Structure formats: structure tokens, C-alpha cells
Structure 1
Amino acid sequence: MVVTENLAAFITQTGSADVIQIGNLPVPEVGPRQVLIRNHAVAVNPVDTYIRSGLVAFDLPNPFVVGCDSAGEIEAVGSEVSRFKIGDRVWCTNQGLLGRQGTFATRIAVDEGWCFALPDNVQPTDAAALSLVAVTAHLGLFREAKLQAGETILVIGGTGGVGSTVVQIAKAAGARVIATGRSDAKCQRALQLGADEAINYQNESITEATKRLAPDGVNVFWETRREPDFDTAVDVLAQRGRMVLMAGRDARPVFPVGPFYVKELSLHGFAMFKAAPQEMLACAQDINQWMASGKLKANIAATLPLSETAEAHRMQESATTGCDGSLSGKIVLTV
């Protein structure tokens, strides 16, 4: 049977969420080292909105299918594919970037190096929601900060897409986790995700609360805000502590140089989409174990159909560039 259905969310020009179109596109041809995935779920990330708006400029295919993440089942494999077969359940991320076509479609062709096995007991919606954020958390915690069991980490924004995943993975690795939230409800959610302590920064200074909870300082400070606070980070970090940056593209904050080097601190900035396939595979092996065992759970704030992609982008933009605190977790779309 020849498959012709391929409903997709795509753009032909950058702009507001209104430029997103929903319609049928040709089923992509599978290259020698690619697999054809019949998607069941996809997820929205802030970077999706940056690319769609033109804020982050890549050379895009035209039409360009939006999105980085997906989970589904393999329908066809290329002649040189060795790791997968038809019928395998998989998840993938890092698509829609650096010239690669995106994921928000019924069917997508993806290089097998970017695909990872989906454990039998994990739902596609959960895998899609976790894919980019879990790889981001893994890279930042272990490749960059080299987090060790028994260390203490402070996660700013412990219920957001990335923050909630950092909380869970750090806890699974044996760290003591302190998270921040902007309300008692979000702090309670951070505790449910595994945080040992939660700070409501609307009621208490992050600096004062952290010094109370960790008098000797935290070993890792994970910053999720678009405007990093280096004064707070340097103040609460322990000797030879590590700060992780993965947001704040246009930020130009004040930096306390003297205290930073006197405490022998280190600063780790990284972009998840620059990781090599083999680096991501190493992340995926741990992520799959944690998802299968229940140590890592998706933090899903909203679930919509693919036809509502434009609305999903508006919701995501309101939560990131608009600083709307109502969204707590990932937006997932079913395909």
C-alpha cells in the first residue's frame, strides 16, 4: 500500500504564529541512512518559536515543517540503516535545526543517528515531551557541570520544561536538589518532581533562602532565565562551584569578576543542538532507563491536536518572551 497522507504544520515564510499553515505535504523520501517515522506525538520548545519568527536565522527548506521533537513508529528504513527495523518505536530530537526538516507532521524522514529506541512502557506523548529537554538536562549536568552524587544543585525555575527535567535527572543521579518557583503551587510541584527543597522567590530572597538551606554553598547553579543573575549565582555557589547557562541569547548582565575567580568557579554555556549524534545517544541510553523505571516523568502542561500548532506557539511565546507564568511544563501535540 502506498502511503500518501502527511498532514503537517509548516511555514513558507517566517513571522508570527499566524504564518503557520496546516495541510498535506508529500510523504518525504527516505535516504539510505534515514528512517520514516509515523508520528504519534510532538512537542513545542521555545527554540521552535524563535526559528518560526526569524529570531534565530537558519537556512530553512520551503515549505518548512516546524518542530524539533517527536515520538512514533518506524514505517520504512533506508538501505544502509542498521539500528532499526520497520515497526520499532522511537523518539527523536534535534530536528528542524541547521537546515534539517522539522517534526510536526504525520510522517517524517530522520537520519537514524538522531533516533533512539522508545521503551515499551513509555507513552509517545511522554517521550516527545521529554526528548529535547532531557537531552539538554543530561548534557548540562554531566558533560558540562560533571554533577556527582551527594552534591547540591540549585535549579532556577524548577517546574519549567528544562528545569523540571533537571530536577528529576539530578535527583536520579543522587544529588540534593533545591528548586525555585514563583508560587506555592509551583514549589509544591517541584517537590513532587523530586526536589528536596523549594524556594518561593515571590516570598523569599533566593540568595537568603539558599544560604539557609545550603550554608556551605551549592555545587551547581542551573540558570534558566533569559536574564542570568550572576551576582546571586556567584554568592551562593560553593568553592569551585559550576554555573550552567542555556538561555539568555541577548542578555548582557553585570558580571562579578573578582568573586568569581577568587572562589575558583566555572561557567558552562552550551547549545543542545550542537551536540553530536553519539553524544545524544549516550544521553538517550540513560534517559530511556529513567523513563522506563519511572524516575523521569514528563511534565506536560497542555495537550493539543496538530491542527492547533499555531495556538501552541502562541502559548509558548507567552510563557517565554512574554514572561507569562501560567504555563508550567511542556506543550504536547498528538498526531
Structure 2
Amino acid sequence: MKAILMTGVGGPEVLRYADVADPEIPSPHHVLVRLHAAGVNPIDTKIRATHSYYPERLPAILGCDGAGVVEAVGSSVTRFRPGDEVYFFNSGLGYEPGAYAQYTVVPEYYCALKPRHLSMQEAAAAPLVLVTAWEALIKRAQLKPQETILVHGGAGGVGHVAVQLAKHLGAFVATTVSSETKAEFVRGLGADHVIRYPEEDFVEAALKWTDGRGVKVVLDTVGGATFCRSFSATRVYGQVVTLLSAACEPSAINTARMRNLTVGYVQVIAPIYLGLHSARLAQTRILEEGARLMEEGRLRVHVGRVLPLAEAAEAHRLIASGGTMGKIVLAIP
């Protein structure tokens, strides 16, 4: 089969289009999936640049998001049969083969039926961003109707799903974007207030929007100074949920303490790396519930760019450069 091999640690040039052996079903509970598309995520570029999870395993096939058709099933599989269209969040850390390939194998527990009306490319774009936004807003922040939330990077992969999910939950949503094109995009997703961060200070804008109180929840998809300054935009007893890690100055930490803020972290690949089966089953349930919302038209995933599998390196360059709205997807021949 054709696959993208990560042949070393470094820049996008370490990704090579190659012929490799088809995978074999490794257990009675695995399914063999003929992939039609794979999602590309920032975590893929970080693994490529550092290979910090499994540095001894090279070459590796990256990609935790995929969509395709079940080709064969293990002897004990009960959830799927050949011909089923599925999407999944699995592997991609460099230990087991990921989704940058024509075929992959996935435990049946971590697959879900593809939303019926979505294309394979749209379905492959969904899993990581859906699970991340869901865990951030529902599990960590426990966002409620009528509460206010500020989503940083609302036109990005996780951000554009979070904006829609927050509206589905009945919240009032503000979001930061870098351009008028992205502003129009997030308004179309339901954002109530758009902050053009190159032109206005997001802390001042959030405080003005909330009559000085600050938002109840901040979802930080940016990290760094944005995470640290978000404490000042959050109301007393509010919550800041971040997807990244950052060291803040003592003054920012003191702001969080004096506001009695709760800070939560979301790293959805942790259950894969740590082998937490129950947590991974919960993520599969998110895929199933998300499929229902997408089929009902309450949630959509925007595919901003589609590239052929052979151009995975270019997809990584585009991720690093920023500016893409929604997700980048690899079409698999």
C-alpha cells in the first residue's frame, strides 16, 4: 500500500511517500479500514518535529484522524462488518500505524459509524477537533446555557467546532480572529461577538462585552501570552481551559488566584498514550454523539484545504504557517 513514512525527526522533509506492506489484523477485536481520507492536526507536526512519545520507533506512520470503509474484521468483532463506513480517533503517535496510509487497523471500540451525509474528507477532519472541543466545554468547563465564553482562534480547527458546540449548549460566544474573512466565517457559525485581535485588545474587548465582569469560560487554543492574559478577561470564579502549556509571570498567576479561577488542561491524545481504555471509550461515545449532531445539521466541520496523500509534507508546512480556516485533509488514493 501507499503510505507516508516519517523517516526521522525534523522538518516536513522527513515525510516520505512510500510503498509499505498492508497491515494485518492483529487481534480478534480489530477492523481493517480502507482509508479514503486522513485529517492533519498540529499534534502531527509536533510529533514529527520531536518524536517525543516513541523516539525508538522509526519509520512511523502518523495521523490519528481517519475515515474509510471497513474491509475486514477480526473474529470477535461485533460492532462493524465489511462495507461499513466509519471514522475514528486512534493511534498516530508513532507506535502503531496511523491514518496517513491506504489501510490501517483500529480496535473496534474506537471506531464510530461515519455521519451519513458527510463526505469522507469531512468525516476525517472531525474526530480530534470534535473530541477536544467536547472535552473542553462539556467535561472541563461544564458550560451552561446563558453563560459567556471566549474562544481563542475561533476560525481554527478546534475553535470553529467549539464555537458551534458552545452555541448548541446555549451559551453566548465571543471569539478572536485575525482577519475580516475569518470574522465573517465565525459569524456564520453563530458567534455572538467577534474580536479582531490584531486591532483590539482581547481583554478589554471581553470586559466591555460583559459589562466589566469578564467571561465565565475561556477556551485557549493559542497558549503563551494569550493563555496568561486570559486570566484578566475571566470573571471571578470563572474557568480557563487550555489545550497547551505555558509558564506565566507571577502577576498573571496572582490575577488567577485573586479571581479564584479554575484552570483546566485538555490533551485528548493522553488516553491513547497511557492506554486508558475507559477514557478512550468515552471519546468514541463523543464521536457517536457528534455524528448525531452533524446528521441533524447542528454541527459541521469545515475543510479548508484538501491535498493528496503524497503532499503530506506540504500539509504540515501549511499547518505551521497558520491562516487556514477549519481543517486540512489528505485525500487518499
Output one character per residue of 1:131-176: Cα deviation in whole Å (capped at 9) or x when no partner: 1111110011111111112211100111011111111111111111
Aligned pair partner of 1:242 in 239, 243, 251:
239
Asked if structure 2 preserves the Cα contact closer than 8 Å seen for 1:135 and 1:280, the reply is yes
Pick closer, same or farther for the CA change 1:236–1:226 going to 2, 3 Å.
closer
Letter matched to residue 56 of structure 1: S
1:60: how far off?
Answer: 5.9
Contact 1:58 1:99 in 2 (8 A): yes
Deviations 1:18-73 (A, max 9, x none): 12111221110112111000111111101111111225342464431121110011
User: What is the aligned partner in structure 1 of residue 3 from structure 2?
Assistant: 8
* Pairwise CA distance, 1:258: 3.3
**Partner amino acid for 1:9?**
I
Query: Which region of structure 1 is more displaced relative to structure 2, 93-102 or 73-82?
Result: 93-102
8 Å Cα contact 1:73/1:90 also seen in 2: yes
Distance 1:44 1:143, change over 3 A: same
CA distance in structure 2 between the partners assigned to 1:257 and 1:299 by the alignment: 36
Q: Cα offset for 1:231?
A: 5.0
1:88 aligns with 2:84: yes
Residue 92 of structure 1, CA deviation: 0.8
Query: Which letter does structure 1 place at the counterpart of 2:16?
Result: Q
Aligned residues of 1:94 and 1:132 also touching (Cα < 8 A): no
**Are residues 1:306 and 2:309 paired?**
yes
1:287 equivalent in alignment to 2:290:
yes
**Count of matched residue pairs:** 322
Among the aligned pairs, what percent are the same residue?
Answer: 35
Match of 2:205 in 1: 209
Cα root mean square deviation, aligned:
1.7
Would you say the 8 A contact 1:7–1:22 is kept in 2? yes
In 1, Cα distance between the equivalents of 2:286 and 2:32?
23
Report the Cα distance in structure 1 between the residues aligned to 2:142 and 2:56, rounded to whole angstroms: 35
Distance 1:77 1:246, change over 3 A: same
Q: Give 2:220's aligned residue.
A: 223
Distance 1:97 1:231, change over 3 A: closer
Relative distance call for 1:203 and 1:62 in structure 2 (3 A) is: closer
Correspondence for 1:323: none
Instruction: After TM superposition, give the deviation of residue 260 of structure 1 in Å.
Output: 1.9
Any idea what SS the aligned residue of 1:190 has? Answer: helix
1:119 to 99, 110, 115: 115
Q: 1:186 to 1:167 in 2, by over 3 A?
A: same
Structure 1 residues 201 and 285: CA distance shift in structure 2, 3 A: same
CA distance in structure 1 between the partners assigned to 2:328 and 2:4 by the alignment: 15
Q: TM-score, normalised by structure 1?
A: 0.91
CA contact (8 A) 1:229 1:253 kept: no
Shift of 1:76: 0.5
Residue equivalent to 1:153: 149
1:220-252 deviation line (CA, Å, top 9, x unaligned): 10111131435532222122111001124xx32
CA offset digits 1:243-285 (Å, max 9, x no partner):
001124xx32224333323322100012111242222023112
Decide whether aligned partners of structure 1 residues 270 and 231 sit closer, same or farther in structure 2, where only a CA change above 3 A counts: closer
Secondary structure (helix, strand or coil) at the match of 1:332 reads: strand
Q: Partner of 1:191 in structure 2?
A: 187
Structure 2 contact 167–173 (Cα < 8 Å) conserved: yes
Q: Is the 8 A contact 2:61 2:94 kept in 1?
A: no
2:22 pairs, out of 27, 32, 43, with: 27
Q: Secondary structure at the match of 1:257?
A: helix
Change (3 A) 1:176 1:14: same
CA contact (8 A) 1:34 1:77 kept: yes
2:223–2:243 Cα contact (<8 Å) kept:
no
Choose 236-245 or 68-77, whichever is displaced more. 236-245
Structure 1 window deviating more from structure 2 (68-77 vs 298-307): it is 298-307
- Residues 50-104 of structure 1, C-alpha deviations (whole Å, 9 max, x = no match): 1112253424644311211100110001112121111111101132127222111
Secondary structure (helix, strand or coil) at the match of 2:224 reads: coil
TM-score normalised per structure 2? 0.92
The alpha-carbon distance between structure 1 residues 271 and 124, as it changes in their structure 2 partners (threshold 3 A), is same
Q: Does 1:265 align with 2:261?
A: yes
